Structures are given as C-alpha cells and as structure tokens.
Amino acid sequence: MINMQNSLRTFGRRTLSQSRLLSKVKLTADKYQISRGDYATISETDRTELLSMVNGKGLEGIENLDGYNTDWMNTVRGQSSLVLRPQTTEQMSKILKYCNENKIAVNPQGGNTGLVGGSNPVFDEVIISTSLMNQVEDVDPVSGILVAQAGCVLDDLNQKLSDYKLMMPLDLGAKGSCQLGGNLSTNAGGLRLLRYGSLRGTVLGVEAVLADGTIIDALQTLRKDNTGYDLKQLFLGSEGTLGIITKASILCAPLPNSVNVAYVSLETFDHVREVFKAARSQLGEILSAFEFVDEDCLDTLKDNLSLEPPVDKTPFTVVIETHGSNRDHDQEKLELFLEYLMENEMIVNGTVAEDSKKVGDIWQLRERMAEALQHDGYVYKYDVSIPLKHFYDLVEDMRERLGDKALRCVGYGHVGDSNLHLNVTTSEYSEEVNNLIEPFIYEWVASKRGSISAEHGIGFKKTNYLHFSKSNEAIDQMKLLKNLFDPNNILNPYKVLPQ
C-alpha cells in the first residue's frame, strides 16, 4: 500500500488556540465590498425548526463557528450563526425544502479544505455541513465499486478500501480532511489524474438533493449506462450551486502491488518537459504521477518546515511515481528509464524509493508545499492549466513583475496534467500585491488558451474572472441552468456565477 506520509494539516478541524486567532480575518463582505442578496434573515422559529430537522445536531452562535465561517488559509470569513449537520438524505431534503420556501440562503460545506472561498458563507448563510453523513454503504470487491455518503473523509475511504485491495481513484494533499461530497462537487483532480482519470469518468452515480428538496437518485453502480441525460455530471464541479450531493458511487482502482518513487533534479524546465515525454513512452502504463517543484519551493520547505531534499538542489525537481502489478517488471522499467535520463544528461541527480517510509519522505516534499507556504503569512494561490510549452514562463514573468514586493513567488504542480500551482506570499494581505497579480495572471493564462482554474474551481474568489475561460454563450447557459435548478438562488450564493 502507498501509505504516504499524511501531512499534519487538519483543515476545518481547528484547535481552540487556532480559532482564537481567526477572528482577526477580515470579513469577506468588507474585504470584497459586496452586498448581501435579498434573502430572509433566520428567525428564532426558523432556527428551532431547522435544528429539529437534524435532531439537534447543529451548532449555534457566530462566536463558535470560526472554523466553519473561515477557510483554512484565513482569506475569507463569513458571518453564519447556524451550522446544521444532517445525517440522512431525508434530513437534507427537509432542510432545503424549508429554506427554499422561506428564501433562506445556504452554504454547503464538506471538509472546508477549498482554496477559492467556495465552502464558506459570505454573509449569514446557514451552513449545511456533511460531516455526519459519513457512512460507507457498500464496497463490491468484484467490480471495485464503492457507495458512500458525501461526508466520508478521503483518507478514511482509502483505509476502508485497503481491506479489499482497492483505493480511491483520486488523491490530494487535503486527503486527511477533505470529504467525498466536496471532492465531487469541486471535481477535484489531484496527484494521479494522469493515471486514473478524472471524476467525470470514475464517478458512476450520484444522489443529490435539489434546492426545493427533491431527491435525485442517480446512484447507478454500473460502468456503462446510457439511459438518457447524465444528470450526475451537473452536480460534479458545480460547487454546490445546483444541488447538494448526498451519496456517490465511484469506481475504485486496484491497490498496486508495487509502488516506486523517483526523485530527480534538473537544470531547466526544458529538461522537465523532455523527461515527461520520456516517462510517458518508457514507463507507459505504470506511470501514476509526474509532479514538479521549483528551487524556491525547496527553500520554502527548508525555511518553514525544516524539510531537506535528498540530493543537492537544482532549479527544478521532479517526483515520478509508478503503480504496477509486477514488482520486477516495474523496477526494471524504472531503472532503464533513469539510466536513459542520466546517459542523455537530462537530469543532474536522483534517488529512488521503494519502501513506504522513503516513498513518504519524498512525497512530503511535494505534498506539504501548501502547508509550508502558509507559514510565510498570506498566500495568493493560483491554480491554472497552461500548455506545457509555456508552462513555467508564467512563474518567471510573475516573479519579474512582483520584484521585491513579494516574499516568494513559487511554482509547483502536476506537469502530467499541464496544471501549474503558482503561489505568491507576503507577510500579510496586501492589496497592492493582489492588484499586481490580478487580473494580469488571468489575462496571461487566457492569452495561452489555458484555464484560470484547473482544479480548485471558481468558488467565491474567481467569479469575476470566469469570462477568461468561458465564452459569453457558455456563461449564459450556466445562468439558465442555475435558474432552472435553483430559481430562488438559495444554494451557495455569490459563488461560481458572476454577480
């Protein structure tokens, strides 16, 4: 089993000492200067009614809800005074029916590990947490299909699946806290999309509750099912604005018999590209991840987490992982591949890990990047898709643009998916720095026909930039769909669609 080092972050599960700090986070409403929608303010009657629907499983009082109102990066803060924690689909249905009839806005929340402010309220939306919907309903060992409630934590699912020699087809840094429903509603990508494909293909069925409380049972557990429109796709990636996912069935991947990780250091990004091309050809079907970090990332890991790279650092580092069924074959492929890279002077140095401890140590250098950056103070996070030929140019252009106004400007991410994470840090939030980055970065990405959000979604923070990646006609259709599914606009308002 790929028992990777689980990072120490526990997003959304803050300790008391942390939550005391949170109230310093600026209110989203003030920071972004937007107006509250025309929603009802919940009355005492509403509060009593709603809490009774979840058998009292709720939390009250804005002063107690910092961990729900604020994102883990301390960049947005809402003002909700009520969290509801339903345990069943029927409870979810009752809540939404009531809120829809009374025009009460709601904010669906999973593990609250999102990076674009999509999982926190903006004003006083009622938070509906899926945390108590955490039951695994079925694992079929022959087909490899899992059926589970939306609140299951990704890592917990992997634990359960390992008994069946299976694993989830997605993996991401936040796995210790993020929930299945959140993964699906943000169409999470992560580290191994390259190998196991996107959720659009691996999610076989979804149960979701619409704004008016209607339960849509599209919880098929079949690999092939062409019976009419594929409604579940509407709930994947729509970030809780068209319905709330309550259950899902997902095609899991077999747990590999053999896992190998190579860490290689390179001089230029051209070499990174060449090594990627060679990996696809020579490692072929066993290649499961191809990730990179730049030199500034290694410095951040050292400065902020005292993590040292296993070999001398160079401008670029690549982590290559293989998953396979035959250990001897996999090792032979990897050895031949690394020899080829050395002979052709594509890499400077490297090391290979086969045992799970060493595999975990190497993965830390990639997986704990988000955590490491957070120690600088404020992080401006961007997650873009750019064709590989322009991929790293953005980091260099941004670094030049920001000069000494930023503490750091680093690039890392999923080379195999053309997905760059560009991160800028300052000791505290600076509007000047923010304005230097945006909309410059979106214009830059759009000019290369990239995506302004590869995997993080639009959430709250990127709604005004949606048009850089979507045509006007497409945005019009999105608005029509939103109006069809949620005519009162109660589901996760201020998110995804431009105001």
Residues 304-333 that bind a second copy (CB under 8 A): 323-326, 329, 332-333
In 3-state terms, what secondary structure has residue 280? helix
Q: Please state the closest distance from residue 92 (CB atom) to a second copy, in A.
A: 14
Q: Exactly one of 99, 157, 172, 236 binds a second copy (CB under 8 A); which one?
A: 236
Q: Is 244 helix (H, G, I), strand (E, B) or coil?
A: strand
Shortest distance in whole angstroms from residue 457 CB to a second copy: 5
The reply on whether position 464 binds a second copy by CB under 8 A is: no
- Minimum distance from CB of 467 to a second copy (Å)? 10
- Residues 363-402 binding a second copy (CB under 8 A) are 385, 387-389
Of 42, 50, 128, 466, which one interacts with a second copy (CB under 8 A)? 466
H/E segment holding residue 161: helix 154-162
CB 491, CB 107: distance < 8 Å: no
Footprint of a second copy on 21-60 (CB under 8 A):
none
Classify residue 74 as left (phi > 0), alpha (psi -120 to 50) or beta.
Answer: left
Q: What is the C-alpha to C-alpha distance for residues 498 and 224, in angstroms, rounded to an integer?
A: 35
Query: Cβ closer to a second copy: 363 or 465?
Result: 465
93 membership: H or E segment, kind and range: helix 89-101
**Residue 439 preceded by cis peptide, ω within 30:** yes
Nearer to a second copy, 16 or 142 (CB): 142
How many chain residues interact with a second copy (CB under 8 A)? 87
Could you tell me which of 201, 196, 337 has the C-alpha nearest to residue 260? 337
Pairwise CA distance, residues 83 & 64, whole Å: 10
| Chain center to CA of 266 | 28
Total length of the chain: 499
x/- binding map, residues 405-434, to a second copy, per CB under 8 A?
---------x--xxx---------------
Stretch that binds a second copy, among 64-72, 220-228, 290-298, 353-361 (CB under 8 A): 220-228
Does 185 bind a second copy (CB under 8 A)? Our answer is no
Binding test (CB under 8 A) with a second copy, winner from 405, 477, 487, 499: 477
SS3 307: coil
Interface with a second copy includes 230 (CB under 8 A)?
yes
String marking each residue 429-458 x if it binds a second copy according to CB under 8 A: --------------------xxxxxxxxxx
Q: What is the Cα–Cα distance from 380 to 444, expressed in whole angstroms?
A: 16
Between vectors from CA 273 to CA 267 and to CA 277, what angle results, nearest 5°?
Answer: 130
Assess 257 for contact with a second copy (CB under 8 A).
Answer: yes
Q: Is 117 in the site for a second copy (CB under 8 A)?
A: no
Residue with Cβ nearer a second copy (82 or 253): 253
Minimum Å gap between C-beta 161 and a second copy is 15
Among residues 33, 142, 306, 403, which is the contact residue for a second copy, using CB under 8 A?
142
E-strand spans in 364-456?
A: 378-385, 408-414, 419-426
- Give me the numbers of helices (H) and strands (E) for the chain, helices first please: 19, 18
Record the tokens describing residue 71, joined without a space.
């994102």
Q: 400 near 330, Cβ under 8 Å?
A: no
DSSP at 134: -
DSSP annotation of 389: G
Minimum CB–partner distance for residue 335 and a second copy (Å):
12
Among 218, 275, 301, 373, binds a second copy (CB under 8 A): 218
- Report the alpha-carbon distance of residue 64 to residue 78 in Å, rounded: 13
Q: 42 or 218, CB closer to a second copy?
A: 218
Angle at which helices 89-101 and 44-53 pack, to 10 degrees? 160
Asked if 481 interacts with a second copy (CB under 8 A), we say: yes
Determine, following the binding rule CB under 8 A, whether residue 487 of this chain makes contact with a second copy. no
Query: Site mask, a second copy, residues 267-306, x = CB under 8 A?
Result: ------x---x--xxxxxxx--------------------
Q: Which of 24, 229, 404, 432 binds a second copy (CB under 8 A)?
A: 229
